[in-house]
Structure 1
Amino acid sequence: MILLVATGLDVAGPWLAQVYIDGYLVEGDLRAWPLLLLGGAYIGSQGLAALGRYLQTLYFSRIGLEAIYTLRQRVFRHVMRLPQHVHDATPTGEMVARVTNDTDAIRELYVAFLATVLQNLVLLVGILVAMALMNLQLMLIAAPLVPIAGVVIWLYQRTSGRAAMEVRRLRAVQNARINEAIGGMSVLQAFNRTDHFRHHFHDTNISQYNARMRTVRISGLLLRSALDLIATIILAALLWVYGLEHLGSGAEIGVLYAFITWLGRVSEPLIEITQRFNIFQQASVAGTRLLRLLDRPEAPQGTDTGPVEHARLQLRDVHFRHHGAATDTLAGITLDIPPGSFFGVVGPTGSGKSTLLDLLAGLSRISEGSLTLDDRPVADFAPETLNAAIASVPQEPFVRSTTLRDNLLLGSEADDAQLAAAIDDAQLRELIDRLPDGLDTPLGERGLTLSTGERQLLAMARALLRQPRILLLDEATASVDSATEHRMNRALERLRGRVTLIVVAHRLSTIRHADRIVVIEAGRILEQGSHTALLDRPDGHYHRLWHHRQRRSAESWQ
């Protein structure tokens, strides 16, 4: 209703001017009251029309922002539920671009395109109706501007689509390169490779510049320039026809004024609509990219919410193959892990150790075989139930730039006693006592104010705060110093018997006291047993691995 009223008031302005010119000015009637009355009506109609346009813009903006709020929430929720292999294969910067830039392009579709097109289409119809009521012959001269604009829009869509898609793709690549460079800045500077990355970024930047220039050239040729030329030709035709009809006469000068004014208002909405099609093109590309993301299947989730009572893990002939891989990463794994036991897992790089922990944590699904927790398939557990029972300490801990307390809680709730118990079990008390503000000390970007070992201890305390029944550690001592390794070993001994420990270790000293050590190579179990039992096999893999590490350790001290 606001749109129709505003359009009617907007169209009425030239009509009021025509009434005064032809009814009073041409006739020589210069009385003040008609001028004041029609002038006041003209000013009032245009003021109310401007108010209506403001309300329209406000309304459409609110619709657009609400729609994008909902869309962005949905996209981010979907991203959080995607399988791990999707995140492994997708650059972080590209995923960020989908959630931010692409949804912003959809917002522009609502705010800058749909609102503009609807408002201007209604205005266009209103002007053509007013033209027809005033002078049908002159309206028929102006009307061809509309279908011609449709042809121009169609040509623009056909020629600019590929360039717009390339712009969006290169923006995602650009974000990915920026994210990589900033995230690894210390390494790039240490290896003096900043210029190399700068040249790579320059190549991407110049490619995006060229793609954008293609869209600019196409829009510059087909949008305003073409329509301005066509509108000028139609204006000339309108003046010529009017001149033939009223040559030498001043009759209906007001009609000519009204038509010239309306013709300008006809061409402007068409030009604005065609220019907004650039936004529509970008939104179409962004929408396609978002649909591709939303079409990716989410990681399957179970519905079993029954509590985990004993925390016994069993693997029977488990096979796993990564998405798109030609061979199995794990093949025929069979294990029985009793509650409260301490299992160590060793093997060369790429043998499948971390993959095994991902399967146990429910981050990946087995391809074949059976994986159960308390005789119930791990795949059937609801995520919140599984996450409450199993906690992980990854090789590269996730640390936010907020305080130590926030990093421990990660949005969860815990009382002071639970927090203190987790800190003590993880041997983190010494760090907290050393920090200036204790638990409320900000840790900086990615926790770089902490050492690698301290970040590992933080990750362990965070995991223990959930009071899990099973704790998974993935190479937690691989990059720490001897003192930190000793503290982590003390933490493991403190947890022994209370929590099932499954530890992937590069340093064999970390798992030498484990109840059972499993040696994996090429996705298969080669041997298993206690540290002593495995060392008693002179031809065994663990025996060779242990003595090899011992020799390297001795050489490093010489």
Structure 2
Amino acid sequence: MTALPVADRVTTRRSSRDLLRGERRAVVVVLLLQAAAAAAGLAAPRLLGAIVDDVLQGATVARIDRLALAIAVCTLVQGVLLRYGYLAGYRLGERAIARLREWFVRRTLDLPTAVVERAGTGDLANRSSVDVATVGTMVRDVVPIMLISSAQLLLLFGAVFLIHPMLGLVALAGLPSILAVTRWYLRRASPAYLAEGAASADLTESLTTTAEGARTVEALRLGDERITSGTDRVARQWATRRRTLGLRSVFYPVVEGSYGLPVAAVLLAGGVLARDGSVSIGDVVAAALLLQQAIEPLDRMLQFIEQAQRGVASYARVLGVGFGVPEQRGVAPVPGDERIVVRDARFAYTAGHDVLHGIDLDLRPGERLAIVGPSGAGKSTLARLLAGTEAPDTGSVTLGGVPVADIEPARRRQLIALVTQEHHVFIGTLRDNLSFAAPDATDGEMLSALVAVGADWYAALPDGLDTRLGEGARQLGPADAQQLALARIVLADPHTLILDEATAALDPTTARRTERSLAAVLGGRTVIAIAHRLNTARDADRVAVLADGRITELGTHDELVDAGGPYAALWRSWHG
């Protein structure tokens, strides 16, 4: 498997700014509300300090009551401002993450099939679930908290400086140790959390493939091998989690141990200054209370740094999905006609191990070509090149003079359709499953498409086209699901159809009937059929025999049988 890429730091920072660029007004509102809340919070320590000084000077009870009432009012105002500040922050985060989710879905759907297949389901599933959720938590919770806490800390320490500059300086006593351990942590956290995410994706991939292939594992007695493989991946994930846990076990104790230093330093320095008359006892009390009040936002910031690191690492993985989508440069080329031409096409999944060797092929519009050959000859790979799913390493595969792989994907799918043995029934109604191919199709057109491929089972559905299919509803067997896939192709109405053993899941009688139905419906279109059943080859206009990644024979059925070559041997074997 080839994992999807991960965005670098520059791209991640730039995308983070872009994510919030449309929310500048909301960001300003959040900051203003939180700054006002923090300012209201400054009043209580100052008023309490004033109470201390007034008591020492023999103030009346009425004055003390007025100051206490003022503290209560300021606390209430702070609570109201905090409430609306948090609300604005959460709304800001939800809007940003909604845009990110929409972007992620679009980019995922734009991924070339080859990229998805090489990455595997585990990596993509992990990014679409765990990583997106982690980024959502960061944008919704962490970013607002960091903004809020930063504003509060600036105001709180600024207030201490205003009481007396010396108190403000000694209030920074805990800062060197906090900055040092934070710097140490940040330098190591990002790669550690990226490694943890990759290990988690690898474990998900292993568990998914084992579960999906459970019957194969049981039939081939591969249980011990799969258990060993899963155990190794669990061990790797545990090792990466131990590394991140080790970072936290250093970071948090050092930070928490630094909290008491500023308060102690202010009390000591305040005592000296109060003895000299530079400040009052009330000022010292107010400064100490302000610093005590600063512990909470500082603690929140430092605690959320860990989540922020997880979020940044996940965000880099989410953005990496977009790197698998080829960029569209300028206007997408438009084919001049429907002629497909292959010239000296070579292709390798692994460098140095060619699967196809110098393929040359001309397909006339409306021609029906059958491609036959032994397993592993490269038939499916050639089908992928013809469909534009893969691009040749050297040589060319063109449609109307334009490289097939360069045609804009949505446009290419309208022109060329590839149907394989793999099929999928989406959760939803039968109408939903058919409308993917033609959103504007009428009920009559959908029913005609089902009839065209011999899907007579639809007549027994309790709610017709409104019958729900998929997990938790009516399950279609492999043959029915494949006919549903073929009905989508009828509705899509491409000018070129590539059938990569598309009827392999059907019994011979049903497959033959379906192929004949399709032949009648798709008459006049270019049809390329990868066939194991040689009856399909006999009905084709031409037959291409593929062996070891090369076309060894090309001609009509009768010509190849008369030639007495490999195809004639296959035909004799087919007929006993």
TM-score by length of 1: 0.87
Q: Measured at CA, do residues 63 and 202 of structure 1 come closer, stay the same or move farther in structure 2, by a change above 3 Å?
A: farther
The letter of the residue matching 1:53 is L
Q: Give the alignment of 1:513-524 within 5 angstroms.
A: 513-524=539-550
* Partner Cα distance (1:496, 1:107) in 2: 47
What RMSD in Å do the two structures reach over aligned CA positions? 3.1
CA contact (8 A) 1:78 1:294 kept: yes
For residues 128-171 of structure 1, give each alpha carbon's deviation from its aligned partner in whole angstroms, at most 9, with x where no partner exists: 22222324433332222233321221122234344322221122
- Number of aligned residue pairs: give it: 542
For residue 291 of structure 2, what is the amino acid of its counterpart?
A: L
Q: CA deviation at 1:14?
A: 0.5
Residue 28 of structure 1 aligns with which residue?
A: 58
**Stretch moving more, 230-239 or 342-351:** 230-239
Q: 1:309-328 alignment to 2 at 5 Å? A: 311=338, 313-322=339-348, 324-328=350-354
Secondary structure of 2:286's aligned partner: helix
| Correspondence for 1:106 | 135
Distance 1:270 1:231 in 2: 9
Q: Are residues 445 and 200 of structure 1, via their aligned partners in 2, closer, same or farther at CA, if it must alter by over 3 Å? A: farther
Give 1:87's match in structure 2, choosing from 97, 106, 116.
116
d(CA) in 2 for partners of 1:475, 1:61: 52
Query: 1:415 aligned to 2:442?
Result: yes
Q: How many angstroms does 1:392 deviate by?
A: 2.5
Q: Distance in 2 between matches of 1:15 and 1:488?
A: 85
1:218–1:337 CA distance, 2 compared to 1 (3 A): closer
Partner of 2:316: 288
Map 1:131-280 to 2 at 5 A: 131-188=160-217, 197=226, 200-223=229-252, 225-243=253-271, 252-280=280-308
Is the 8 Å Cα contact of residues 173 and 265 (structure 2) preserved in structure 1? no
Q: Distance in 2 between matches of 1:137 and 1:304?
A: 71
Q: Distance in 1 between matches of 2:345 and 2:203?
A: 38
SS for the counterpart of 2:538 is coil
Distance (whole Å) between structure 2 residues aligned to residue 137 and residue 369 of structure 1: 76
CA 376–544 in structure 1, closer or farther in 2 if over 3 Å, else same: same
Kindly indicate whether residue 562 of structure 2 is the aligned counterpart of residue 531 of structure 1: no
Q: Which moved more, 1:327-336 or 1:349-358?
A: 327-336
In percent, how many aligned pairs have the same letter?
A: 30
Q: Tell me how far apart the structure 2 counterparts of residues 163 and 385 of structure 1 sit (CA, whole Å).
A: 42
Pair 1:517–1:182, CA change in 2 (3 A): same
Residue 347 (structure 1) shift:
1.0
Alignment of 1:460-471 (within 5 A): 460-471=486-497
Alignment check: 8 A CA contact 1:315 1:333 kept: no
Structure 1: gaps (5+ residues): 552-558
Structure-2 change in CA distance of 1:418 and 1:205 (3 Å): same
> Is 1:317–1:368's contact at 8 Å kept on the other side of the alignment?
no
Structure-to-structure mapping, 1:494-509, within 5 angstroms = 494-495=520-521, 497-509=523-535
Partner deviation per Cα, 1:485-517 (whole Å, 9 max, x = no partner): 232232244246333221101121232221211
Q: How does 1:332-411 map to 2 (within 5 A)?
A: 332-374=358-400, 377-379=403-405, 381-410=407-436
Measured in 1, the distance between the counterparts of 2:257 and 2:409 equals: 63
Mark the CA change 1:181 to 1:40 in structure 2 (over 3 Å): closer, same or farther. farther
User: What amino acid does structure 2 have at the position aligned with 1:74?
Assistant: W
Shift of 1:64: 2.5
Moved more, 444-453 or 97-106: 444-453
- Return closer, same or farther for 1:139/1:439 CA change in 2, 3 Å cut-off: same
1:488 and 2:514 matched: yes
1:285-326 alpha-carbon deviations (Å, 9 max, x no partner): 223334444334517687245786xx3x34242413245432
Calculate the TM-score normalised by the size of structure 2.
0.85
Alpha-carbon distance between aligned partners in 1 of 2:436 and 2:464, rounded to the nearest angstrom? 17
Aligned equivalent of 1:5: 36
Query: Given the superposition, is the C-alpha separation of residues 405 and 337 from structure 1 closer, same or farther in structure 2, using an over 3 Å criterion?
Result: same
Distance 1:246 1:174, change over 3 A: same
Asked if 2 retains the 8 angstrom alpha-carbon contact of 1:477 and 1:506, the reply is: no
Alpha-carbon distance change, 462 to 243 in structure 1, aligned in 2, over 3 angstroms: same
| Equivalent residue number for residue 445 of structure 1 | 471
Task: Tell me if the contact between 1:322 and 1:328 (Cα under 8 Å) persists in the aligned partners.
Answer: yes
Q: Provide the rounded CA distance (Å) in 1 between the counterparts of 2:61 and 2:452.
A: 97
Q: Flag the 1:355–1:280 CA change in 2: closer, same or farther, 3 A.
A: same
Match in the other structure for 2:4: none
Within 1, Cα distance between the matches of 2:393 and 2:75? 70
Structure 2 residue 125 is matched with structure 1 residue 96 = yes
Greater Cα shift, 78-87 or 36-45: 78-87
Which residue type is aligned with residue 352 of structure 1? G
**Counterpart-to-counterpart distance in 1, 2:273 and 2:528:** 96
Distance change in 2, residues 1:10/1:496 (3 Å): closer
Match of 1:78 in 2: 107
Separation of aligned partners in 2, 1:115 and 1:493: 61
- Structure 2, unaligned stretches of length 5 or more? 1-31
Decide whether the 8 Å contact of 2:97 with 2:140 is kept in 1: no
**Does the CA contact (< 8 Å) of 2:199 and 2:233 recur in 1?**
yes
